[in-house]
Amino acid sequence: MQRKRVGSSGDLLEHFKPLQEVELAIHVKKIEELRVWLTEAQKSHPAAQFLLLTGPPGSGKSISIKTVAQALKYDVSEWTTPVDVDLFLDDRYDFEDRENKKGRRPQKALFDDFLYKTSRYCSLFNTIGESGKLLLVKDFPNSMLRTPEEFHHSLERYRDSSMDPIVFIATDTSKKSLDVAYNLFPPHIMESFQIRQIKFNAVSASLLKKAIKRMGGIIKADKEISKQYQTVPSKAVEEEIIASSQGDLRNCCLNYLFTCMKSEADALPKRLRLDNDASCKEKAAKSSGSTLGKSSNHLGLNQQLTIMHGLGRIFHPKFIKQGENTRFIHSPESIAECFLTQPSNIVSLLHSNYVTRCTDIQNVCKASDMLTVVDAIMNEYRSDQLAPYGINIAVRSMMVHNEQTAHGFQPIRKKIKVLPHESTKLYENQLKKLGLIQRPVPARLLATEYKGYMSIIRVPAMHKTQENAAALYQH
């Protein structure tokens, strides 16, 4: 028999959404940054009209802005892309045997109407909050992802016609073609529209424990919800859920609820019991022992390696001897697979820290050469498939060439950020006049690679040019 769902909503997390800021399983600094920005937006400050939230999936971007906005008495209106206009001629799809629906409006027109009408008119069914309106855009129209100029035009129209704050939420992706922040919010757009950016990180294990502990308390307190979630996971299972979620708050909460729905195979389904029940403790101890024995049974995501642990395994590899051969305890391929969603970040961290992790200068030179090859592979903008190969080469080469690792505590340094100077363009023009470069060179590549080599050969080239000019003058 199919069990009836509690409530009419299909969202399992609907009953467990936080109502106050203290219930959020998010870092306090991020909540404070949101509160400060929303407070500035109440004053209709031009520099606090646009906000971009970025971060990995399940890092709490949406629930944080909604909870803080609700605490500040904002009336939040969220845009949802209509699915019935997704495949029509106005959105530049090219399919055969399709009717031309003249009555259908393109996604851009509907998105512009949402921005214009929501910021100007009031709903008959809702009352405006004390702090005013707040627009939220998380689901971006597909047509704007294909042509970012349409989105920038809509953004300009909104800036000229409204003063209400608007929040854009962009989830980090491994492919540049699907990365909203990369395609729709380039640096010049962020600067011209004064868009504030707040970056969210993966949720820590302590905050994940706080979230599932709060959910367990809600299940115990509500009799209707406890009818659907009948079992309490053991501490070992909770730890496994937290470890396998890899900082994904949504994944952790859903796996916890799915585990609560499961009943024991050798017994009838049991109602939720208190933690001080003796029989419950005995069976929890048995289940924890059986769970620890099954190392291959994981919950949620397969990635169970944090960035710090991954860098530790790369910079300080461990070996095991098998006869005359020696192999890694942790294979480079398994480490690289855990970071396929952020290969450029891992390579940047390797660049920042590999020199201090090697004690032999020969190993430093070998690692530097391989990282140069990896940069050449991952800088190929025409293919996104090269990034997994690049991170595999970087991890393996760093582990193989670091034969004598440095001991003692050494903090992890931040990623290196290269900001080209304003004189880079002038320097490029000078090199073109001297004939040292024949094609345009990206500013970052010119500042990091070309400029160092060009400074060595620039003086001889200038002397040669002067000698040629003198010879022509004599003739």
The string of DSSP codes covering 426-466 is HHHHHHHHTTS--S---HHHIIIIIHHHHHHHHHHHHHHHH
Over residues 299-357, the pLDDT tens digits come to 444 444 677 788 888 888 888 877 778 888 888 888 888 887 778 888 888 888 888 88
Chain position carrying tokens 């100077």: 421
CATH of the domain at 59: 3.40.50.300
Residue of 214 and 468 predicted with greater confidence = 214
Indicate whether 4 pLDDT > 70. no
Mark whether 194 and 209 lie in a shared domain.
Answer: no
Res. 404 pLDDT band, cuts 50 70 90: confident
Q: In what helix (H) or strand (E) does residue 171 lie, and over which residues does it extend?
A: strand 166-171
Res. 35 pLDDT band, cuts 50 70 90: very high
Nearest to 465 by CA among 430, 437, 440, 435: 435
Sign for the CA dihedral angle at 87, 89, 95, 101 comes to: positive
Indicate whether 370 pLDDT > 80. yes
Residue 287 lies in a domain: no
Number of H helices, E strands in the chain: 20, 7
Maximum mean pLDDT: which of 10-19, 78-87, 88-97, 272-281:
10-19
Residue 297 lies in a domain: no
Mark whether 440 and 338 lie in a shared domain.
Answer: no
Mark whether 337 and 232 lie in a shared domain.
Answer: no
85 residue type, one letter: V
Contact 313, 339 (CB under 8 A): no
pLDDT of amino acid 471: 65
pLDDT (mean) for 380-385: 65
Mark whether 231 and 190 lie in a shared domain.
Answer: no
Per the DSSP assignment, residues forming a β-bridge with 199 are 54
Per the DSSP assignment, residues forming a β-bridge with 133 are 75
Model confidence pTM above 0.85: no
CA distances in angstroms from 111 to 73, 84, 136, 152, 192, listed in the order given: 25, 14, 12, 12, 21
Per the DSSP assignment, residues forming a β-bridge with 198 are 53
pLDDT of amino acid 238: 87
Mark whether 230 and 376 lie in a shared domain.
Answer: no
pLDDT (mean) for 282-310: 51
Residue 413 lies in a domain: no
Average pLDDT, the chain: 75
Mark whether 379 and 438 lie in a shared domain.
Answer: no
* Distance of alpha carbon 350 from alpha carbon 406, whole angstroms: 15
Mark whether 20 and 139 lie in a shared domain.
Answer: yes
pLDDT of amino acid 53: 94
Contact 135, 167 (CB under 8 A): yes
Indicate whether 287 pLDDT > 60. no
Mark whether 175 and 217 lie in a shared domain.
Answer: no
Over residues 205-261, the pLDDT tens digits come to 999 999 998 888 888 888 778 777 777 788 888 888 888 888 889 889 888 888 887
pLDDT (mean) for 121-127: 62
Over residues 434-455, the pLDDT tens digits come to 776 666 666 666 666 666 666 6
pLDDT of amino acid 284: 45
Residue 243 lies in a domain: yes
Residue 154 lies in a domain: yes
Query: Integer distance in angstroms from the first to the last C-alpha of the chain?
Result: 103
Q: What's the structural domain count of the chain? A: 4
388 residue type, one letter: P
Q: Give the domain extent around 426.
A: 422-463
- Cβ-defined contacts of 439-445 (< 8 Å, 24+): 444/418, 444/420, 445/379
Mark whether 312 and 459 lie in a shared domain.
Answer: no
